[in-house]
Amino acid sequence: MKVLSGIQPTGRFHWGNYFGAIRQYIELQDNEQSFYFIADLHALTTVRDPKVLRQNIQDSALDLLALGLQPEKATLFRQSDVPEVAELTWLLMTITQMHLLEKCHAYKDKKARGLAADAGLFTYPVLMAADILMYDSNVVPVGVDQVQHIEVTRDLAQRFNSLYGDDCLVLPEAHVLDSSAKVPGTDGEKMSKSYGNTIPLFDTPKKIRKIINRIKTDSTPVEDPKTPEACAVFNLYRLFATPQQQDELAARYRAGGMGYGEAKTTLYEAAMAYFSESFEKRADLEQRPDDVEDILLQGAKQARQKARDVLERVRTACGLKSLPPEL
């Protein structure tokens, strides 16, 4: 099967990003064909500082490669390096009905909160549909809250096919990511940049330790028994530990005599050990920016080969002339 996923460079990746999605993206890279792109065009709806966006894009590439994305298995590229996606977006816009976009969550949420919702946000699902349809993707790994985007993509593909030809666009299926790995933030709520409760994947050990020490806990005295399942520190530790290690720490919680400070130290050590190889790889990649750029450009070249094939098919179906040769 052909897999596609895009990740927005709107800030540094955190533990929630990794366990909720990135880890599973990497596990899917062994399929027939996998495309992973840094969604810089999407990010323009929220990131308006060019220096910040450029740094975010670079950090995203470094993080993904350090975490295990392998260019020989998966195609990694910047969304904006495939200009064909912009043309496909317009072709899809011409057959997109307004009411379909008015139902989409991101637009409705901003409108309900009285916030300005520009045309970029309103038509965001069409660009996302173009991203998916551009590569004949069969499978798109998404969280439960993003299933609607796949439904919109299928609706647009079906409408296009009914107008121009049943076999023009491939209808994708949503691969709903495993949500069993609940990732609490430092306040116990779901880890999210919008809540300001994240723990970064890559930062100095000192800063990561400081953030872990800020994880909210209750006021149970050191000597008293504690409930591990009700503690964000323990629930985060479970992401890094073996079942045996989890049982051992849970027993210490229930026995009493262990403070939350000690539990936080255990979490910190487990996390640093888990990501140690990725830290080393990222440090190496930071010293080789030209190599990272070559990976992105080579990925874009591979992606454009597929994109041009699909766009040629779509243009022909619409009655447009064939694509001009590449310059």
The answer to whether residues 236 and 166 belong to one domain is no
* CATH at 144: 3.40.50.620
Task: Select the more confidently predicted residue: 174 or 115.
Answer: 174
- On whether residue 326 sits in a domain, the answer given is no
Burial per residue of 121-139, b for 16 or more beta-carbon CB atoms within 10 angstroms, e otherwise = bbbbbbbbbbbbbbbbbbb
- Are the C-beta atoms of 76 and 294 separated by less than 8 Å? no
**pLDDT digit string (tens) for 229-278?**
999 999 999 999 999 999 999 999 999 999 999 999 999 999 999 999 99
pLDDT above 90 covers a percentage of the chain that reads 80
Mean pLDDT, the chain, rounded, equals: 93
Compute the average pLDDT of residues 178-202: 88
Count the helices and strands in the chain (H runs, E runs). 16, 5
> Residue with structure tokens 């005599």?
257
Task: Answer whether residue 28 is part of any domain.
Answer: yes
DSSP string covering 122-173: HTHHHHHHHHHHTTT-SEEEE-GGGHHHHHHHHHHHHHHHHHH-TTSSPPPE
Cα–Cα distance measured from residue 113 to residue 116, given in angstroms and rounded to the nearest whole number: 9
Half-sphere exposure (Cβ direction) of 133: Cα atoms closer than 13 Å: 36
Q: Do residues 239 and 304 share a domain?
A: no
Residues comprising the chain, all counted: 327
Same domain for 105 and 239, yes or no, is: no
* Cα–Cα distance for residue pair 166/172, rounded to 1 Å: 14
* Segment 282-311, tens digit of pLDDT: 999 999 999 999 999 999 999 999 999 999
| Token couple for 303 | 């992606």
Does the global pTM surpass 0.85?
yes
Residues 241 and 131 in one domain: no
Instruction: Give pLDDT tens digits for 23-52.
Output: 988 999 988 789 999 999 999 998 999 999
Q: How many structural domains compose the chain?
A: 2
Residue 75 lies in a domain: yes
Largest Cα separation within the chain, whole Å, is 77
Average pLDDT over residues 88-104: 95
**Bridge partners, 37 (sequence order):** 6, 77
The single-letter code of the amino acid at 275 is: F
Q: Are 221 and 297 in a shared domain? A: no
Res. 142 pLDDT band, cuts 50 70 90:
confident
pLDDT tens-digit profile of 84-94?
999 999 999 99
Rounded to whole angstroms, how far apart are CA atoms 85 and 271?
38
Q: What's the rounded Cα separation, in Å, for the pair 127 and 315?
A: 17
Query: Is residue 151, in this structure, part of any structural domain at all?
Result: yes
Residue 327 reports pLDDT greater than 70: no
Q: Are residues 232 and 143 in the same domain?
A: no
For range 11-31, the mean pLDDT: 91
Phi, psi of 141 (to 5 degrees): -75, 125
Looking at the predicted structure, is the pLDDT value of residue 166 above 90? no
Domain membership of residue 323 (yes or no) is no
Q: Is the pLDDT of residue 115 over 70?
A: no
Which pLDDT does position 106 carry in this prediction? Answer: 78
210 is in which domain, residue-wise?
Answer: 203-274
Q: Are residues 168 and 305 in the same domain?
A: yes
Same domain assignment for residues 83 and 214? no
For residue 215, which of 251, 258, 254, 267 has the smallest C-alpha distance? 267
Report yes or no on 196 lying in a domain: no
| Same domain, residue pair 166 and 118 | yes
The residues annotated with a catalytic role in the active site are 110, 190, 193
Query: Mean pLDDT, to the nearest integer, of 6-12?
Result: 93
Report if residue 281 sits inside a domain. no
Q: Are residues 84 and 29 in the same domain?
A: yes
Same domain for 130 and 20 = yes
Element (DSSP H or E) covering residue 86: helix 84-93
Q: Cα 128 to chain center, whole Å?
A: 13
Q: What is the pLDDT of residues 198-225, one digit of tens each?
A: 999 999 999 999 999 999 999 999 999 9
* Beta carbons of 119 and 149 less than 8 angstroms apart: no
Q: What is the mean pLDDT of residues 57-72?
A: 97
CB 150 within 8 A of CB 142: yes
Same domain, 106 and 226: no
Q: Identify whether 283 is part of a domain.
A: no
Percentage of the chain surpassing pLDDT 70?
Answer: 98
CATH code: domain of residue 208: 1.10.240.10
Q: What string of H, E and C letters represents the secondary structure of 280-298?
A: HHHHHHHCCHHHHHHHHHH
